[in-house]
Structure 1
Amino acid sequence: MDTRRAGRADTAGRVAAFGLYGEDASAPDTEFLHIEDIHSRSSLHAWEIGAHTHRGLFQVVVLLEGGARVRLDDRTLELAPQGAVVVPPAVVHGFQFQPGSHGYVLTVAEAVLFDGAQAHNRPLVEGLFLAACVVDLAADAPLLGRVAALLEQLMAEFRRPQLGQTMMCVWLSRSVLLLLERRRAAVSGATGPERVRTELFARFRTLVEEHHTEHWPVPRYAAALGITESRLNRLCRRLADRSAFEVVQDRLLLEARRRLIYIAAPVSVIAYELGFQDPGYFNRFFKKLTGTTPAAFRRQARGAEE
């Protein structure tokens, strides 16, 4: 089996969902935490990690030396050394590393970061996982050194079972993520009140992730969050430059695009799977937002890959 294509889609034509790349994710572990160097897995696949997602897992790739071409959903970017890529769950991502690249891949389940005892600290790193992003560490050499040292310690701790290993790995992981969030927040200018808004927006995004195919109206999302519809819209305008309705529509459109590319089912079947009661309505929804029909989009997207 060509593992590079296996990362692109599974046997049913869907984007492959892994616990770790190439490994089964049928039973995700809520206590999952893993770290490895870039070389150990990428070199086995000709330094190319095909498009895939992780179910319920957050991933951070810190590149210290070398370079990489990174795919994040429908974006492709170049990652320079001394940078980090943050990948939330469900984001389709892939990497084409320069041979010999050096760095680390940290993968953690949400429960590891935000267990009951640490739930009050969620706003401290929530902003890091609002969306896939790149954190440039090159301009802050002291912080880069601390991140690299923590990852090296985490690798050493992870490889050698001993007293308190789990606790130490969790502490080190949270430290890495907090340093990355400090850097991200410093660049973006985030403040204390901004972190509160970030947490609320993250809760909204979580609800959208869970219910977008159910076509919840915006007032229902606002009620679930315990805020007014107008406040939810102000929040979305501030953090995403979109209305709450547009955020929901964007997520539904993203899912539609993914399925049209990676699933071989007829457009009508995909429409029903996405919660549309009428395939005709799905066609109008898609064309209104993209300017093209689902069938035309599929032909164009698949033609570009050939």
Structure 2
Amino acid sequence: MDKSGERLDGSGLDGQVRRGVAGSDPAPATAPSGAVPVGAELIAAHYVARRWTLTSKAARPFIHLLCLPGGGIAEIGQSGQTMRTVGPALVWLPAGSADYLEVSAGTTAQLLQLRAGTWHRYLPPSAEAAYLALEGAGGILALQVEADLAATIARSIAAIAAEVATPARSGAASIMSAELSLCVLRFWRLFAGDGTRNEESSSTEILSRFRRLLEERYQQHLRVSDYARLLGTTPDRLHALCSRELKRSPSELIQQRLVREAATRLEAGTIAVKQIAFALGFTDTAYFSRFFRKHTGEAPGAWRRRVAARARAGRSRPTLNFADWP
């Protein structure tokens, strides 16, 4: 397995495991997994069981999708308990959800490794709903599936492994994006049926997904209607939920997230206001200054000077005129 997991029993693996790790830019297949969002591994059948720990510093940031296309067996250890899955099956392991993964003797499997919070770089906007739902999965999802579906996902993982092993080939990133999208969407469809969709569409779930999405996209200055579309809801419903549960409209939350980030960057160092404005998606420094003043009562430069003066005097930082982002 690549460094997103640590092999405890490495016997019999030479020449039998094909692996690769991909980054947002072409990089050697031996690139450290901690710096890249996607990896894939093919596990050939062997006469001994093999186990990987998922609690190491390198493994904890990664989500794992295990595909058992045949009748093999996998065991997942979690808090002193074990979960046994017989193929054909798919298992989604959120980051930090399991202590170890063991593949039994004679089992063929494919393993997809996704760095939490960053693997969406390879997904198109059309897969945003699937990404948000899977990224926010709270526990292990083990699903028995038809052999044909397991075989299809196994082929997608194999294709990803081939591309990350030779990232310099023309179109590698595009092929990876296509295969990863198919893999994720097919898996998402399994638990996004009517029953679970009702649960996912609850107020708490929509707000949770909105927060995650805003954390990733606030610099893009998306409109409320854009967020609603990505969340699979309407602007009116999103507005009603935010106003009722958070006592603020979606527009206010979007603006406040930008102000909070701007204040943090102004306080953190001496980077020019123009650079901060550009980093936050503002193309006009004057507009950024007006935006910041509207929400804090001070221009960016004045805010920075006041924070520095309070720090020299041993006083706490000034508070913003709105509640912190929840």
What is the TM-score when the length of structure 2 is the normalising length?
0.47
- Greater percentage in helix: 1
What is the TM-score when the length of structure 1 is the normalising length?
0.50
